C-alpha cells in the first residue's frame, strides 16, 4: 500500500479491500457510492485483473459508481435482469449501536436503498468516526423530494419537529439535483432520532417524498477502518 496515504485514508483503503475480499466468483455485487466504496470497487477490479476473482457482475448505486466500475473493468448488470444480489457493499454517514444507518451524503440514497434491500448480505464499510450513539446528532438526514412538492414536504417535516434545509450545490449555482432529477432536503432533529424505524416510515408516507436516508434493520455486517497505535486496522461489528 502507498506510504503517501495518511493513516485515516489508509484505513479506508484497507476496509474497502477487506470488503472486496469477501466477494466470491460468480457473484452479483451491489457497488456502493462514496470515497470508501471507491476503494472497494478498485480492489474488486484488481482481483478481476489478477484472475483471483472471476465471473462477477456489479450493480451500481450511482452514476459515479458506474463510471468507476467501468474504469476498473467490472462488468455491470441491472436489477431488471437478476433474481437477487449476493452481496452489497457500501459506506454510511452514521452507524448507531443497532447498526441502523444514515446515508445520503452523496445524494444517492434512493438507489442505494433499492439495491441494498435486494441483497442477501449487506456489508457497510466506514471509518471509526462514523460510529455514533444516536443518529442525526452530527449528520443531517437527507430526504429526496419531487421538486414540485418541495414546500409542502418541508412544512410537513417541520410539523414533525424537523428543521429542513435545501441542499445547495458546491461548484454550481442552485440546488443539488439527484440522479432521479429530484431535490434533497437535509433535516436536523434537534435531539437526534429516537425511533429510526418509525421516522423512516413516517417520512416516506409524506406525499412528494421519494426516499429518506434512514436505513433501518438492513445491515448484516459493519467493517470499521480505524487507526490503532498509529496503524490502520479493520474491525468487524455484527448484529
**Residues recognised as catalytic:** 112
> Distance between alpha carbon 52 and the CA centroid of its chain, in Å?
26
Strand partners, 85: 119
Backbone angles phi and psi of 214, in degrees to 5: -85, 125
CA end-to-end span of the chain: 31
Q: Residue 184 in contact with residue 142, Cβ under 8 Å?
A: yes
Report how many helices (DSSP H) and strands (DSSP E) the chain contains, helices first: 6, 13
> 87: buried, middle or exposed (CB in 10 Å: 19+, 13-18, 0-12)?
buried
Residue 156 host element (H or E):
helix 150-159
Residues in contact with 29: Cβ distance below 8 Å, sequence separation at least 6, in sequence order: 23, 44, 56, 57, 58, 59, 85, 86, 87, 88, 89
Helix axes 7-20, 35-50, angle to 10 degrees: 50
3-state secondary structure of 77: coil
Three-state SS across 11-55?
Answer: HHHHHHHHHHCCCCCCCEEEECCCHHHHHHHHHHHHHHHHCCCCC
Amino acid at each position: 500500500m502507498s506510504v503517501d496515504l495518511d493513516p485515516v485514508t489508509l484505513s479506508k483503503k484497507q476496509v474497502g479491500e477487506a470488503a472486496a475480499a469477501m466477494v466470491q466468483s460468480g457473484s452479483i455485487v451491489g457497488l456502493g457510492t462514496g470515497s470508501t466504496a471507491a476503494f472497494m470497487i478498485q480492489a474488486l477490479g484488481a482481483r478481476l485483473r489478477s484472475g483471483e476473482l472471476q465471473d462477477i457482475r456489479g450493480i451500481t448505486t450511482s452514476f459515479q459508481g458506474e463510471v468507476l466500475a467501468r474504469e476498473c473493468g467490472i462488468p455491470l448488470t441491472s436489477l431488471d435482469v437478476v433474481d437477487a444480489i449476493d452481496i452489497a457493499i457500501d459506506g454510511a454517514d452514521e452507524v448507531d449501536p443497532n447498526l441502523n444507518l444514515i446515508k445520503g451524503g452523496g445524494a444517492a440514497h434512493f438507489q442505494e436503498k433499492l439495491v441494498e434491500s435486494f441483497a442477501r448480505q449487506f456489508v457497510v464499510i466506514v471509518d471509526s468516526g462514523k460510529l455514533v450513539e444516536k443518529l442525526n446528532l452530527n449528520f443531517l438526514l437527507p430526504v429526496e423530494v419531487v421538486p414540485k412538492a418541495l414546500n409542502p414536504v418541508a412544512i410537513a417535516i417541520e410539523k414533525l419537529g424537523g428543521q429542513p434545509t435545501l441542499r445547495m450545490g458546491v461548484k454550481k449555482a442552485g440546488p443539488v439535483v439527484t440522479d432521479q432529477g429530484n431535490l434533497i432536503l437535509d433535516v436536523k432533529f434537534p435531539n437526534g432520532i429516537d425511533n429510526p424505524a418509525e421516522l423512516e416510515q413516517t417520512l416516506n408516507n409524506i406525499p412528494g417524498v421519494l426516499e429518506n436516508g434512514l436505513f433501518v434493520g438492513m445491515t448484516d455486517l459493519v467493517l470499521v477502518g480505524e487507526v490503532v497505535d498509529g496503524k490502520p486496522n479493520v474491525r468487524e461489528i455484527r448484529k
